[in-house]
Amino acid sequence: MEGVLNIDKPDGWTSHDVVAKLRTLLKIRRIGHTGTLDPAATGVLLCCIGKATRVAEYLVGYEKEYEAVLRLGETTDTQDRTGTTLKRWDVTSITEERLRSVLNQFIGDTLQTPPMYSAIKINGIALHKLARTGHTVPRPARPIHIRNIDVAQIHGTDVTLNVTCSKGTYIRTLCADIGHALGIGAHLGKLARLRIGSFELGNALRLDEVQELLSQNKLSSALHNTDEVLQDFPAVDVIEPIATRVRHGQGIRAEDVAEKLGAGGAGMLVRIRQLRAGLLALGRLSFPLEELGRQGDTRMAISIEKVLV
């Protein structure tokens, strides 16, 4: 059994808890997830099973979408509702117009300082372990991209936001930063991940549904194969004997591409497939995808990054 399962992570479970449960259900050790969710968060958690774990690193980079409740007027030490309250403010002076104006300041490329309560390691020690001992250490800010922030609902001091962002974005830190920009403090009250790339919450399986499908011997119908989960990357098709060379890690000349799909520039990751046989490997373009497939062009066009068969 191999492929990717789109799981709806339940409230109160760690991402590792979900992986451990799947290992027990499927009786497979080789399972991992792509993109940790905090225990109090719910929603899409992609779990790679068997050989699909080899592509997990590429799924981590997919764009993500969240529904987050921004709780105004209160800061906590963890930046979310699970922490200890540090300070409270009166929020009556904050208008919706002021709120929307501040939210717009966070759209685009920006730098974000990771929270102390996170799994990031400094000198080999996870930050959350240092935080629980009362220590705070300097953390380098990291580049993130927030494509969109929409206000879905305002109910008292709770503001429901829809956030579309890049990998590495801490939504609770975003909430704390928004509160700081408003001058009243804020924290994350609730979080649900709605989407990772093309994988949506509406198509995610609860763990009990996984168990039910397994008992009916139908779980394979819910598994997404590696070619499918990497569909955001352009693909090139090859035939023999080029396919055999790819299996041995050899690069591909421009003229050896049998068929090309999509477009992409130099350095972009591409799927390499054998016609009617499926995904063989992942590679990197040496020059634009549009230049591939030209007869007599012997330039090395694609270097092999990872063989998957």
pLDDT digits (tens, 9 = 90+) for 215-238: 999 999 999 999 999 988 888 888
pLDDT of residue 261: 65
- Label residue 140 by pLDDT band (50, 70, 90): confident
Q: Based on the domain organization, do 217 and 246 belong to the same domain?
A: no
Q: Are residues 218 and 281 in the same domain?
A: no
Residues 53 and 69 in one domain: no
**pLDDT value at position 135?**
65
* Max mean pLDDT range (12-21, 120-129, 233-242): 12-21
Residue 181 and residue 271 in one domain: no
Q: How many domains does the chain have?
A: 3
Are 183 and 303 in a shared domain?
Answer: no
| pTM of this structure | 0.89
Same domain assignment for residues 265 and 146: no
Residue 41 has pLDDT above 90, yes or no: yes
Same domain, 263 and 203: no
Q: Do both 77 and 190 map to the same domain?
A: yes
Of the three residues 227, 244, 279, the one that is the final residue of a domain is 227
pLDDT in tens, 188-197: 999 999 999 9
Residues 293, 174, single domain; the answer is no
Out of 147, 181, 196, pick the residue that ends a domain. Answer: 196
Alpha-carbon span 34 to 224, nearest angstrom = 14
Q: What range defines the domain where residue 215 resides?
A: 3-62+198-227
Q: Are residues 163 and 249 in the same domain?
A: no
Q: Please name every residue paired with 126 in a beta bridge, in sequence order, or none if there are none.
A: 121
Q: What is the mean pLDDT of the chain?
A: 91
Whichever domain contains 286, its CATH number is 2.30.130.10
Residue numbers annotated as active site: 38
